Amino acid sequence: MESIAIEKKAYTMMLERISKLKNRVNNLYPNQEGILHEEWIENAELSHRLNISLRTLQTYRERGVIGFSTIGRKIYYKISDVEKLLKKNRISNKNKN
């Protein structure tokens, strides 16, 4: 892994500029809370994390099991939708003591 060392003053200036830029964007688009502020995951990454095939994800999309968005040929899922799906289908331990 590569590392880059910068002076504390330069780092502080960079953080301040990023904060100012964020404020400017928020001022320009005050009502844009929502879709762009949510976390999204790409198709292949979700397949890998859930240890399921891309074809299984395609079946879920076709059956309406999970919502998705596409940009070009890329497919994205809202992480909150994935979490809801997992919670909804959770099987609790029936052998509680």
Instruction: Evaluate whether residue 5 is within a structural domain.
Output: no
Instruction: Evaluate whether residue 3 is within a structural domain.
Output: no
Contact of 54 with 44, CB cutoff 8 Å: yes
On the CB side of 40, how many CA atoms lie within 13 Å of its CA? 15
Alpha-carbon gap, residue 8 to 5, rounded angstroms? 9
CA 94 vs. chain centroid, Å, equals: 32
- Owning domain of residue 48: 38-88
Instruction: Evaluate whether residue 23 is within a structural domain.
Output: no
Q: What is the pLDDT along the chain (97 residues), one digit of tens a residue?
A: 788 888 999 989 999 999 988 888 777 766 655 555 678 999 999 999 999 999 999 999 999 999 999 999 999 999 999 999 999 988 887 766 5
Alpha-carbon gap, residue 74 to 88, rounded angstroms? 26
Instruction: Evaluate whether residue 16 is within a structural domain.
Output: no
Total tally of structural domains belonging to the chain: 1
Contacts of 78 (CB under 8 A, 6+ apart): 38, 39, 40, 67
